[in-house]
Amino acid sequence: MTTTEPIHPAPEQAAPERAAAEAAGAMRTPAEALAAAREHLLALQSPEGWWKGELQTNVTMDAEDLLLREFLGVRTEDDTRETARWIRSQQAEDGTWATFHGGPSDLSTTAEAYVALRLAGDAPDEPHMARASAFVRARGGVPETRVFTRFWLAMFGEWSWDDLPVLPPEMMFLPRWFPLNVYDFACWARQTIVPLTIVGSLRPVRPLPFDLPELRAEHPARRSGRRRVPGWDEAFHTLDRALHVYERRPVRALRQAALRRAGEWIVARQEADGCWGGIQPPWVYSLIALHLLGYRNDHPVMKRGLDGLERFTIRDAKGRRLEACQSPVWDTVLAMNALADAGVPGDDPAQRRAADWVLGEEVTGPGDWSVRRPNLPPGGWAFEFDNDVYPDTDDTAEAILALDRVGHPAAEPAIERAVRWMAGMASADGGFAAFDADNTRELCRRLPFCDFGEVIDPPSADVTAHVVEALARRGMADSRTVKRAVVWLLRAQERDGSWFGRWGANHVYGTGAVVPALIAAGVRPGKPAIRRAVRWLERHQRPDGGWGEDLRSYDDPGWIGRGASTPSQTAWALLALLAAGERGPAVDRGVRWLIEHQRQDGTWDEDHFTGTGFPGDFYINYHLYRLVFPVSALGRYVREA
């Protein structure tokens, strides 16, 4: 079992230290603040060479873990009690749960947390439960929750399978050129959809030891998927009705063959540690699907899957919780780059240990990305400890930068393979997505089933920027690949001068990534695109000197560039301004904010989430972001000062 502890105290524990940190930080020079942060980062390295901060999300991970264990018959009292303690600790005073720190109440998250607490024995009339159920009823009850929530409730007899969108397993037989084949969906979506085609066709019902009348609104507006609108959406709802008719009398031989094909597809993609894709949704649904196909809990595939969840489990004073994913490769290469920015030489033992570990994590075989790039030799890195099927260009770009800067003697062949693979993953328009090339079929978004999260993987500004920066570092600034990517980035710039951030919050992240990349590719600081970006950052600097952008900016443009100042977002803005050659008051005030908010031990507090899983739906607090990015920003500031 691997237990991951947070790298900072809980907010209520950190408050006294935060005040002391501000007093101490005010006396530090930038070089002293950098030294303290650098030493703290070095101290967090594992003996094997990697770094990994907690990847914190929301309590649906924990609620669904209990529901999974209930469904499979492996839920224990100890796990239930400790998980419930964690879920309760995250409940807001009004009885609800949100998808990110300080965010608005979320209906589906609240409903799933409520059901999990009922499993733990919390009575419906207890005040915290009554407040939660009242909120769910006020928002329309279970019918207004997302499809995933209603899938869970259908498995326990609290929702009708007839009122869920249909995804038949026969879609496994659609050829790769045909619309809505499984490879039209993003890697995280296809890994989730394939097992759910099995679950949805077999329609299991295993009643809970209680029912949930308190979650039913008095006059709910029942729905199946998203709100209907004319055009494609209406066409897909018509298709869904036809599929419901087919579900009542499927072609038996075809259905059995499709279930067998889907099961084989799932088993073939299980990773060495038992996970699927290194992420929670396909993991839990794959276990349920295989269980329904007859795999016993002691079958090697099932046992690896269940045992592997322990590696993602955190136990501490607040209870038991599950990471939706783990980010050791990402954290390690970011830490290596931060230390290089902070002046740690490439032959330092910490950098060498990290490089050795990263080289051992190289992906050397084909994966789902090969479907669209069948002739491209493999290379690169994934995000997690084990995820050889799904390397990504974002991790690969940062790994190339880190290994190139460290100058490890054995790294060059791996870097060359990674550069070749990464460049070969360019989409037709010149931009880069995270996991696939040309994964842009928007019809996938129209399915009634797809009412939560992004289901395709189009190119994004932040990923494209990281790729450009890495290729430029390797002397490829004049290559056709980089030139096309630069044009893509320039076209993607918003009218206000910023860039949208797909994997981080939000325009501060996108702009913080793109400006250094354009400069690295040879765009001069005086060019209009850079000047507009600088002006946008200066306009959105907060009165306290920091930068912050609330995650609500993905849904409400009024929040773009607005939010509480955070260490990671302040560092992103500084990295862009420093790359653009800025040395004025905005930079000095941003550096001063970092110094004044630094803890005595050299790190920072960051309760706000600044990472993005699905814009508008799923967010992440990377606990190492609060340290690695300020180290990079302070390092570059001190070096150039």
Task: Tell me which long-range contacts 501-504 makes (C-beta under 8 A, separation of at least 24).
Answer: 501/461, 501/462, 501/612, 502/434, 502/460, 502/461, 502/462, 502/463, 502/612, 502/615, 503/394, 503/434, 503/460, 503/462, 503/463, 503/611, 503/612, 504/462, 504/572, 504/610, 504/611, 504/612
Q: Which amino acid is at 228?
A: R
DSSP state for residue 175 in the 8-state scheme: -
DSSP state for residue 321 in the 8-state scheme: E
* C-alpha span between 383 and 378 (Å, rounded): 16
> According to DSSP H, which parts of 139-186 are helical?
147-155
Q: Are 51 and 331 in contact (CB under 8 A)?
A: yes
Question: Among residues 544, 551, 547, which one has the least CA distance to residue 610?
Answer: 551
* C-alpha span between 12 and 14 (Å, rounded): 6
DSSP state for residue 325 in the 8-state scheme: B
Sheet-wide strand order for 618-622: 55-56, 618-622, 611-614
Concerning whether 79 is annotated as a catalytic residue, the answer is no
Question: Among residues 366, 369, 357, which one has the least CA distance to residue 328?
Answer: 357
* C-alpha span between 220 and 234 (Å, rounded): 21
* C-alpha span between 582 and 574 (Å, rounded): 9
Token digits of residue 577: 């301004």
Beta bridge partners of 504: 611
Which residues, other chains included, contact 432 with Cβ-Cβ below 8 Å and sequence gap of 6+?
393, 422, 425, 426, 459, 460, 463, 464, 467, 485
Catalytic residue among 62, 240, 386, 394: 394
Give the three-class secondary structure for 209. coil
Q: Which amino acid is at 532?
A: R
Q: Which residues are catalytic?
A: 394
